[in-house]
Amino acid sequence: MLQPTEDRTMKSLLRRVFWHRFQQLTALIILLSFNAAFSILADQGEESLPLGNPPTLEHSTPTGTTEIAQRLTPFPFTPPDIKLKEKEPLSSSNDWFTKHDKNKIDELGGLDFYASSGSQSVGVVPKLHNTSAGIEIYRLPPTMSKETFESKEGPYRPGITKKFSNKRDGEKIAKFKTYPIAQPALGCFYMSRLLGHLVEVPPATYRTMDVQEFMKVGNQARTTGHPDCTAAWANLRGWTQSANPKMVLPGGKLVYGSVAQNPRGEESSPEDYWTVGAIRGHSFYKVLSSKAPVPNTLNLNDPKSLQDLALAQDMARGVILDSIFRQVDRLGNISVAVLQHYVTSDGEVKWDDKVSDKDKPQAVSPFLPLKRIMYKDNDDGMNWSRDSISVTPILNETHHIDQTIYNRLQWLAGLMQDSEPGSNDKIKDYFVNVVHISGDNYDNMKASLIKQASSLKSRVDAKDILVDLDFDGTMKKLYAKEIEASQAQKNAATPSPTPLEMTPSPSP
């Protein structure tokens, strides 16, 4: 029989146990409610979560493991040439990380690889064409379940799965890639934004996947349309089974890599961008390769000049980005998208694949459909030992760049060399713990970026390169009268303060 003191001790212990269990259940309910609310808001296209808080999204896997997706987190430094929003350190222009980037990364993180139904349920199938191995994520057709889609569309299909194509039902919305191609893709996205939102690199973020799910998909890829893809998948299965730390986290339950948006509507790898010779045949290349100032080559008072100006600026930016990352197979992996460009009443130049009804009233210029270069595949970079890459001849023949990428390169190279106390350590911490590239890859990327910044500065100082490509500035000048008229109209509509509203003069 328990003594009174022992009885009180036992009751106290039980109360603590029940209270701990209650706290655990409450936390679980809050987390589930939070994820459900996030899914609904993401579906409605609303801004749901503060930037970087929480830093990750979580998913429960069928094996009981928790897998994570990295959210966009503010970079520790801000370049002097951009104006960020008051609520969040994002830009309203395509010159830094944007709200679009944040929302897309949250959408990628919200995808549930394991749910059999619901708005976040997706088809998860192996990439079976071209040379590299990866996983393709599909929005499920309304008439098809996840299980049916994956069993029907996943395996090799004679006559459909080919060396360089593999058509599937449904919309491909994302791609999951792991070692050795995940880190170049992650690094390229983040660097593209830091240097001025270069070449429409689609949003990408760090994501994990349950090992059993990964192996289930990988086992569908024992036969593919390309021998290199078959061999790559064999390597991934072997590394997963041996829990190789290059792609499997400690504990052996999660594969890690990158998940990236799959853009729609672009012309993927058109033939006139497959070789340096083909690229030299474009009219924009005459602008890029001429040593004469840009206004001597293009009539910048004519809106028709904007197309060549945009592509020249894109090409210069792209080859600089490739040179930093030592991207070896860019030729054949350049996409072209037609985007709608316009100038707002505030004098900002904006573009996107489509214009919403909310955006239309802001425009004071016509909506101009212009071709832009898009770097959709960025996974063959970080070849640090390569002195020359496929686009090196283009960079050597480039004699014009824009002020933004030039200034950002000098700014970032300076920070990586501690232009502010401790700045390099903060940037390295960001790339290792937010971008999720290795410390060694950061050190090599840093050295490469500093080298490119120094090389460009030398060429600019020697006047071998002119800093006179300015797509945004040219478009603003073309529609300056419309901007001025719109702002005058706004000012006229704003009532002047009444005497009672005016601040009184101080007494003498």
Cα 260 from Cα 76, distance rounded (Å): 23
For 290-320, write each residue's pLDDT tens digit: 999 999 999 999 999 999 999 999 999 999 9
Return the closest-CA partner of residue 338 out of 261, 263, 264, 266: 266
Please report where in the chains the tokens 């994520």 appear, as a residue.
Answer: 137
Spell out the residues 6+ positions from residue 506 whose beta carbon is closer than 8 angstroms to its own: none
pLDDT value at 456 more than 90: yes
Contact between 442 and 424 (Cβ < 8 Å): no
Q: Is 171 helix (H, G, I), strand (E, B) or coil?
A: strand
Q: Considering the chain, what percentage of its residues have pLDDT values greater than 70?
A: 87
List the single range of 19-28, 73-82, 120-129, 167-176 with lowest mean pLDDT.
Answer: 19-28
Burial (Cβ within 10 Å: 0-12, 13-18, ≥19) of residue 493: exposed
Catalogue the E-assigned strands of 161-320: 171-177, 204-210, 254-261
What pLDDT score was predicted for residue 157? 97
Cα 482 from Cα 363, distance rounded (Å): 10
Please, how many CA atoms are within 13 Å of residue 115, restricted to the half-sphere of its CB?
15
What pLDDT score was predicted for residue 464? 98
Handedness of CA 136, 239, 218, 113 (dihedral sign): negative
Looking at residue 329, the DSSP 8-state letter turns out to be -
Q: In 111-242, where does DSSP find H-type helix?
A: 146-153, 182-194, 211-219, 227-241
Average pLDDT over all residues of the chain: 89
What pLDDT score was predicted for residue 47? 52
Looking at residue 506, the DSSP 8-state letter turns out to be P
Task: Record the pTM.
Answer: 0.87
Cα 102 to Cα 56, 219, 223, 320, 404: the distances in Å are: 12, 33, 37, 25, 22
Q: For residue 311, count other CB atoms closer than 10 A to its CB.
A: 23
What pLDDT score was predicted for residue 29? 39
Phi (first) and psi of residue 255, to 5 degrees: -90, 145
Return the closest-CA partner of residue 328 out of 390, 396, 379: 390
For 160-193, write each residue's pLDDT tens digit: 999 999 999 889 999 999 999 999 999 999 999 9
Cα 429 from Cα 426, distance rounded (Å): 5
Cα 472 from Cα 179, distance rounded (Å): 38
Res. 16 pLDDT band, cuts 50 70 90 = low
What pLDDT score was predicted for residue 269? 81
Three-state SS string over 357-379 comes to: CCCHHHECCCCEEEEEEECCCCC
Residue 313 token pair = 């600026």
Domain ranges of the chain: 56-76+89-261, 271-482
For 417-437, write each residue's pLDDT tens digit: 999 999 999 999 999 999 999
Contact between 46 and 39 (Cβ < 8 Å): no
What region, left, alpha or beta, does residue 159 occupy, with left being phi > 0 and alpha being psi -120 to 50 degrees? Answer: left
What pLDDT score was predicted for residue 489? 84
Distance of CA 263 to the CA centre of its chain: 11
Contact between 200 and 374 (Cβ < 8 Å): yes
Cα 194 from Cα 320, distance rounded (Å): 13
